[in-house]
């Protein structure tokens, strides 16, 4: 059994992130000492590492909640897990496409910039007038979430 601070260190995260996952229902309530201090076991550490790895792969909390639920039945078919992962991969590939489009556009306008005066700056001009862009526009939240 360990404290929340030790669990956070072991998992490479913050205490507040663990508490957030508890509030979200992703982490089960830990046992408490007589002094009401949280005590975490190895199952908590394994679950937290699962959540952290899933987050590193870009899964959202809803998907992680589903994955955790599916993981409770080791004998069940993994078809749902596979489908969820494939949907997530499609979203990642779509984001990569938008990011590559942004990269090409930024490279293009930088190459066209003569590093002269602001009044003649191709970068400022392209940012001011979307019609000069060669890439597909996406909402910033779609690109950076």
pTM score = 0.74
Burial-class residue 95 by CB neighbours within 10 Å (0-12, 13-18, 19+): middle
List the Cα angle 59/64/68 in 5-degree steps: 150
Q: Are 61 and 75 in contact (CB under 8 A)?
A: no
Tell me the pLDDT tens digit for each residue of 83-105.
Answer: 999 999 999 999 999 999 989 98
What percentage of the chain has pLDDT greater than the value 70?
88
Tokens representing 37? 């201090």
Q: Are 58 and 18 in contact (CB under 8 A)?
A: no
- CATH for the stretch 4-70: 1.10.1660.10
What percentage of the chain has pLDDT greater than the value 90?
57
Tell me the pLDDT tens digit for each residue of 112-142.
Answer: 777 777 777 777 787 787 666 665 555 555 5
Tokens representing 2? 């360990």
Q: For the chain, what is the mean pLDDT? A: 86
Confidence at 74, pLDDT banded by 50, 70, 90: confident
Q: Is the pLDDT of residue 13 over 60?
A: yes
Q: Are 48 and 13 in contact (CB under 8 A)?
A: yes
Between residues 127 and 50, the one the model is more confident about: 50
Cα atoms in the 13 Å half-sphere on the side-chain side of 53: 8
């Amino acid at each position: 059994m360990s404290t929340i601070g030790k669990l956070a260190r072991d998992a490479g995260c913050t205490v507040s992130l663990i508490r957030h996952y508890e509030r979200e229902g992703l982490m089960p309530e830990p046992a408490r000492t007589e002094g009401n201090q949280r005590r975490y076991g190895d199952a908590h550490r394994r679950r937290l590492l699962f959540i952290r790895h899933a987050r590193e792969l870009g899964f959202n909390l809803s998907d992680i909640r589903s994955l955790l639920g599916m993981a409770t039945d080791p004998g069940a078919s993994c078809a749902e897990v596979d489908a969820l992962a494939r949907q997530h991969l499609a979203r990642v590939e779509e984001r990569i496409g938008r990011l590559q489009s942004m990269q090409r556009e930024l490279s293009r306008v930088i190459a066209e910039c003569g590093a002269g005066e602001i009044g003649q700056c191709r970068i400022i001009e392209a940012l001011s007038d979307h019609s000069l862009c060669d890439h597909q526009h996406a909402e910033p939240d779609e690109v950076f979430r």
